[in-house]
Chain A
Amino acid sequence: MGKAELPLHTPGTKIDRGYIGESVPRPNAARLLQGRGAFTDDLRFPRLAHVAFFRSPYAHALIKKLDLEPARRQPGVIGVFDGRAVAEYCTPWVAVLAHLKGIKSPEQHAIAIERACWQGEAVAAVVAESRTQAEDAVQLIEAEWEELPVVVDMEESLKNTKTIHPGFEDNICFKREHDTGGVDDAFAKADVVVEDTFHFGRHTGVCLEGRAILADYNAAEHSLTVYHATQAPHMMQDIFSRHLNIPEGNVRVIAKDVGGSFGIKVHVYADEMATAALSVMLRRPVKFVADRLESFLSDIHAREHRAKVRVACTKAGEILAFELDDLTAIGPYSVYPRTSGIEGNQVVNLTGGPYRHQKYKARMHVVFTNKNVTCQYRAVGHPIAVALTEGIVDLAAQKLGMDPAEFRRINLIADDAYPYTFPSGIKFEKLSHHKALDLLLKITNYAHLRAEQSRLRQQKIYRGIGLAAMIEVTNPSPAFYGVGGARISAQDGATIRLEPTGMVTVMCSVTEQGQGTEGIFAQIAASAVGVSMDKVKVITGDTGVTPYGGGTWASRGAGIGGEAVLQAGRALRSNMLEVAAHILKADKAELDIAGNAVINKLTQERKLELAELGRVAYFRPDTLPMDFQSELTVTRHYTPRQYGFTFTNGIQASLVEVDPDTGFVKLLKHWCVEDSGTVINPMLVDEQLRGGVVQGIGAALYEECLYSPEGQLLNGNMADYLVPMSGEMPDIVCAHIETPTLQSQLGAKGVGEAGTAGAPAAIMNAINDALAPLNARVTRMPFTPERILRALKKV
């Protein structure tokens, strides 16, 4: 095996990494910088029709009567349909998974039939020649409703005073209990027990591009081409095929430019299924783009949790046990096909994650409510688990009079303890908590920060320093969804083709939403083949073109898709060298490829330009031996298997200043140390971390979907729902440790969710550190000025 076939992380060997590890700009950014991208709403088609939805104004109501006739008579209207009409073309679904034992959810239709279960659920569709005409006609639909009892509070839902779904005995979608044993004993014997209850505000993704779908049915072929702002084209191909009864091979899903996703665009949305069905029904292309108000009402929400957590410690500060009781509400339906049980499940899996206690008991309930549905959003469950863990750890340190950094040092799992099984059952291949803590303390100049904090307190300036250690799920194996029966691919594939001019085309099943997937694939492919990056063209997001795969979610693009690209690139190089060996009448083992040419491995002399290799292979194969056929298109796939997930670790710090008179929190600086294995492009990794941190800041300080007791969303617009804008954001310092996963040749772990996972905890701890001398404490996110003033008993 030559060096070029060895894993990049092979000990004692210096592998030529090419572009891997370099901060090169993304080639595909150029079109976006000129406004010349192709987002779904930018596409123009002949006979394109537009759909607008009539949505329930009530959180829970029976549809007594729906008069569609006035809408049908409006100018430009092509058709108006209710749930029954669409159901003839689109079968309903139930979002459960076998490995989430006992999970239940009612059947959900593309358009609600008989009953609406949240404000904003679509109950009729108007298709017209323009969106404007469709919206005008929606106004004329007349409905008679019978309001039903509404459940908006999750504690009330759990008590089951009103059962939302007929046929169910209670409002529990899913529950899980976990117990290592010995927990009660550990608490009984502990020197110190701390407990607290934390609340997390329901929030949402607010992708700048609304959900968008353009479905184009061809009646002659019984084929459907869907241009879709999605993270998972193959998953959607399967879904459209099964629910619209079109053979899989006749369904093509194309995700062109996608304007942000963060998990929002990986789910099946009823209104999008309806759009595809309407295209079939009307035999013409139909487009739906969620406007901002619809996005707030119908994009998945996430993170509404109430969790009580307890920790038992020794006097010396050693954590003995964790206990968790989590409650989360998901709206009226579990979301298809990933289910809405995963977030709570992750909270159980991850709480306590960085620490070396062995006793753990958890109880978790997922309940239905009459609010918009919730499901997986960036860093699924992590922000909750990390905040619970780090919040209670800080409280324990405070009670023991220990510095929070020192308390963590005592309890973090040792860097030489791997492989390691955590008491929730998850397995870690190799983490670096102590290295990460040391690096964080160094880059923050922690001792100096503490001294400055103490000095400023004398001047009644209240600064806080918050730490948050974390673990993060990345590179998921089939254990995440596949084992539960979901048709969601855990493997991904890459096809690489040498073009006659010596260029290289890469087609990969992982998709691009701006995180830089296509850029890093170009880096990996160029490095693996031996060409310059300008010779590489990457194509993603088209089920008709790429190998089969899962797409983008759970920080899997670089680690899984990147590995497939690396393996395919190496295989292509090997095949190219076989062609070169015949042309040059040389031994393949003496040749290599570098700088767009075949070279002599020893002398580095350029022997054959790749354009010449391509010319001979494609246009003059008659000059090659009779028994030789070149194979200059290669496909490789990769599935992570050995571990359920390739866990990463990191630690963040936040420095804030709290104004006790106004309750305002000023973010002064934020630091993030992350170990994501092999770093392919440091600039892009830092950008993922920073963007993620800022989303976490949103959760900590600004973002919450507020509902009235009647289940009405009170702040469903961008003026009332606050998101982080540039003026309030701090500069964020990133630093890295590289512990490659040994499961792949590339060694990359994921990084897309780390920032969002840890930032809310770091900020919460920083605020509570600032408030500590004022004997105040906050545990309900987002930490609005009002909540801080209430904690200070000033309002």
Chain B
Amino acid sequence: MDQTLVVTLMVNGTQVTRSVQPRQHLVDFLRDELGLTGSHIGCEHGVCGACTLRVNGEIVRGCLMLAVQANGCRVDTIEGLSDSKELAKLQKAFHEKNALQCGFCTPGMLMAAQDLVRLNRKPTREEIRSHISGNYCRCTGYQAIVDAIEEVVNG
């Protein structure tokens, strides 16, 4: 358990190198080693989507990927995509439509939503619902989230 491996990855555009335990998953790595606490832990078995991150441009469950698997990868988190303004339109729409309550699912939800935005097509409400159907939100009932995403992808 004490054996560590050195990983180097690009997190939000900054190269970081750390020694990590092989068993540490990526979201624990981001939270505990780098202090990037915007990615949340909801279930640690790949169901709730709270830890959704972007690795090499694809969204992944941060709890189902090990930090060592991200060696050499480009990882983008809610903090990075907020600062780069990539999420600005979605964040504005979420804010205006109150597409969040407690905000715990929101970073993962925005990651999943932005993945749909980047596909650059005009999805129906059903397709939006389907795209975020791996992200659990206990507070909103989802409708405002669908409304907000719809406004951005079709606006």
Contact = CB atoms under 8 A, between A and B. Distances in A.
A34 B133 contact: no
A589 interface: no
B104 A29 contact: no
Contacts of B133: 725-727
B91 A136 contact: no
B78 A729 contact: no
Interface stretch (A89-97, A206-214, A428-436): A206-214
A731 B145 CA distance: 11
B47 interface: yes
Nearest to A295: B43
B13 interface: no
A718 B140 contact: no
A22 to B, nearest CB: 13
Residue from A25, A31, A684, A687 whose CB has the most chain B CB atoms within 10 Å = A687
A33 interface: yes
B104 A727 contact: no
Contact of A726 (B21, B97, B142): B142
Interface in B27-50: 31-32, 35-45, 47-48, 50
B144 interface: yes
A687 B144 contact: yes
A208 B50 contact: yes
Interface in A678-725: 683-684, 687, 690-695, 717-719, 723-725
B59 to A, nearest CB: 15
B45 A29 contact: no
B134 interface: yes
A209 B106 contact: no
A413 B139 CA distance: 32
A292 B42 contact: yes
B56 interface: no
A71 to B, nearest CB: 14
A416 interface: no
Nearest to B134: A725
Contact of A513 (B50, B91, B94, B102): B102
B47 A719 contact: yes
Nearest to B35: A44
A30 interface: yes
A69 to B, nearest CB: 19
B5 to A, nearest CB: 16
B138 A718 contact: no
Contacts of B38: 34-36
> In terms of DSSP, what is the predominant structure of the interface of chain B?
loop
A209 B110 contact: no
A726 B129 contact: yes
A723 B138 contact: yes
A311 to B, nearest CB: 32
B4 interface: no
A292 B105 contact: no
A718 B43 contact: yes
A258 B48 CA distance: 17
Contact of B144 (A37, A690, A717): A690
Contact of A260 (B36, B101, B141): B101
A29 B98 contact: yes
What class of interface size applies to chain B in its complex with A? 35 or more
Interface in A32-52: 32-37, 39, 41-42, 44
Contacts of A693: 141
B100 A29 contact: yes
B39 A35 contact: yes
A257 interface: yes
Nearest to B103: A32
Contacts of B130: 726-727
A729 B142 contact: yes
Contacts of A136: 1
Interface residues of A, number: 58
A381 interface: no
B87 to A, nearest CB: 8
> In terms of DSSP, what is the predominant structure of the interface of chain A?
loop
B43 A514 contact: no
Interface in A9-29: 25-26, 29
A257 B1 contact: no
B138 A717 contact: no
Contacts of B40: 35, 39, 208-209, 259
Interface string B103-145: 1111100100000000000000100011011111111111111
Contacts of B136: 206, 208, 718, 723, 725
Contact of A257 (B43, B48, B102, B129): B102
B135 A34 contact: no
Contacts of A684: 98
Contacts of A25: 95-96, 98
B102 A718 contact: no
A731 B143 contact: yes
A516 interface: yes
A726 B135 contact: yes
A739 interface: no
A719 B134 CA distance: 11
A249 interface: no
Given A208-B136, A516-B98, A690 B91 contact: no
B138 A260 contact: yes
B46 to A, nearest CB: 8
Contacts of A695: 138
Residue from A25, A29, A717 whose CB has the most chain B CB atoms within 10 Å = A29
A684 B141 CA distance: 12
A4 to B, nearest CB: 29
A454 B154 CA distance: 36
B101 A719 contact: no
A687 B106 CA distance: 15
Interface string B72-104: 000001110010000100010011111011111
A732 interface: yes
B146 interface: yes
A484 B36 CA distance: 46
Contact of A687 (B87, B105, B125, B140): B140
B102 A208 contact: yes
B45 A694 contact: no
A146 interface: no
B50 to A, nearest CB: 6
Contacts of B103: 29, 31-33, 37, 257, 259, 514
Interface string A227-263: 0000000000000000000000000000001111110
Contact of A691 (B107, B134, B140): B140
Contacts of A719: 45, 47
B107 A207 contact: no
Interface string A162-204: 0000000000000000000000000000000000000000000
Contacts of B132: 726
Interface in B6-35: 21, 24, 31-32, 35
Given A36-B38, A516-B98, A208 B138 contact: yes
Given A35-B37, A687-B98, A694-B141, A209 B82 contact: no
B104 A260 contact: yes
A32 B134 CA distance: 20
A291 B44 contact: yes
A684 B100 CA distance: 10
18 contacts: A25-B95, A32-B102, A33-B103, A34-B38, A35-B77, A35-B82, A36-B79, A41-B41, A42-B37, A208-B104, A259-B102, A292-B42, A516-B101, A684-B98, A691-B141, A694-B141, A719-B45, A727-B129
Interface of B: 1-2, 21, 24, 31-32, 35-45, 47-48, 50, 77-79, 82, 87, 91, 94-98, 100-107, 110, 125, 129-130, 132-146
Given A292-B44, A732-B143, 9 more contacts: A34-B38, A35-B82, A37-B103, A207-B138, A687-B139, A690-B140, A691-B139, A695-B138, A727-B130
Top 4 nearest A-B pairs by Cβ distance? A35-B38, A32-B103, A514-B102, A259-B104
